[in-house]
Amino acid sequence: MKNKIIALLVLFTVILFSSAQAQTTAHKFEAGKNTFLLDGKPFVVKAAELHYTRIPQAYWSHRIEMCKALGMNTICIYIFWNIHEQEEGKFDFSGQNDIAAFCKLAQQHGMYVIVRPGPYVCAEWEMGGLPWWLLKKKDVALRTLDPYYMERVGIFMKEVGKQLAPLQVDKGGNIIMVQVENEYGSYGIDKPYVSAVRDLVRESGFTDVPLFQCDWSSNFTNNALDDLIWTVNFGTGANIDQQFKKLKELRPETPLMCSEFWSGWFDHWGRK
């Protein structure tokens, strides 16, 4: 009996060690011909959107498990700038704001992560995640190449990079993709600005996984950059073939990805 207990303990230790090793194994994620590839094999991204700021930290694990139970293999997160830098120059990535802990928790549950750091994220969130104190500079032009705005975006991105760049999938983490800006075609046409944000994302350390940009099928070419993956956003009831038609014409071999599948909408006060 004693020998059996010892054998079971050894087996349990081996399983734990193997599990820990699996969690830190480096992988390669990339865009292949008409499909994403994980370690060279076709991989379908099935992502659920979870916002750590909207979920009490004690429930993070529960929500991730719910997504996994739905058949998802990836968690998609925005990074909310105005949560992490509520005062200019003072960053908080602790407790409820610990984005690295959130990503590591997703990995413990066998889930990959897509990071969407903005700087503007929309998400029906106060100022789309942009900090209120940016407006203290009266002539600031948000989401443009305004020198002050871009300086602060660069500082923010570097802080995000410190937290998450080490968790890219090729380093043994679970981050497989990073988004540049967010639906910018719905705001304006400014490729130099989108290009500058892309460069800041790369400079912050996100150089080992694909970068992508998202927009609507009607406007995604307005700011489309040649070196980014293009994804399209649409909702329930949409004609999917029609949504991807233009993208397939311009990039016939790109993986097709709906980066936001809208299943509802917010209410405007006073509207029906």
* 238-248: pLDDT as tens digits: 999 999 999 99
Average pLDDT score over residue span 84-110: 98
Provide, rounded to the nearest whole percent, the portion of the chain with pLDDT above 70. 92
Task: Given the residues 85, 159, 181, 260, select the one marked as catalytic.
Answer: 260
- pLDDT, position 264: 85
Q: Are strands 36-38 and 41-43 parallel, antiparallel or unpaired?
A: antiparallel
Q: How distant is the alpha carbon of residue 174 from its chain centre?
A: 11
116 has a pLDDT exceeding 80? yes
* Confidence check: pLDDT of 21 > 50: no
CA distance 131 to 47: 27
Is the pLDDT at 217 greater than 50? The verdict is: yes
List strand residue ranges (DSSP E) for the chain, in order.
29-31, 36-38, 41-43, 47-49, 74-78, 112-116, 175-179, 211-216, 229-235, 258-262
Is 173 strand, coil or helix?
coil
The answer to whether the CB of 210 falls within 8 A of the CB of 197 is no
Annotation says 85 is catalytic: no
Burial grade of 170 (CB within 10 A; 0-12, 13-18, 19 or more): middle
- Domains located in the chain, CATH noted: 47-249 (3.20.20.80)
pLDDT on residue 266: 80
Backbone dihedral angles phi then psi of residue 258, each to the nearest 5 degrees: -90, 110
pLDDT score for 13: 46
Amino acid at the residue 142: L
Q: What sign results for the dihedral spanned by CA atoms 44, 46, 51, 52?
A: negative
pLDDT for res 236: 93
Q: How confident is the model at residue 2 (pLDDT cuts 50, 70, 90)?
A: low
Residue 41: pLDDT band with limits 50, 70, 90: very high
Q: Is 183 a catalytic residue?
A: yes
Query: Cα(42)–Cα(38) distance, rounded to whole angstroms?
Result: 6
pLDDT at res. 268: 84
- HSE value, Cβ hemisphere, 13 Å, CA-based, for 218: 4
Q: pLDDT-derived band of residue 267, with 50, 70 and 90 as boundaries?
A: confident
Question: Is the Cβ–Cβ distance between 216 and 185 less than 8 Å?
Answer: yes
**pLDDT digit string, tens, across residues 123-150:** 999 999 999 999 999 999 999 999 999 9
Query: Is a pLDDT exceeding 70 seen at residue 1?
Result: no
* pTM higher than the cut 0.75: yes
Tell me: pLDDT of 5 over 90.
no
Q: Which of 183, 203, 249, 253 is catalytic?
A: 183
For 248, the token pair is 């397939």
* CB-count exposure of residue 171 (10 Å: 0-12, 13-18, 19+): middle
Is the pLDDT at 47 greater than 90, yes or no? yes
End-to-end CA distance of the chain: 71
pLDDT tier for residue 250 given thresholds of 50, 70 and 90: very high
Helix (H) or strand (E) holding 14: helix 2-23
pLDDT band, residue 14 (cuts 50/70/90) = very low
Query: How confident is the model at residue 3, as a pLDDT?
Result: 60
Average pLDDT for the chain: 93
Tokens standing for residue 6? 């010892």
Q: Would you state the structure tokens that stand for residue 257, as one six-digit string?
A: 């990805």
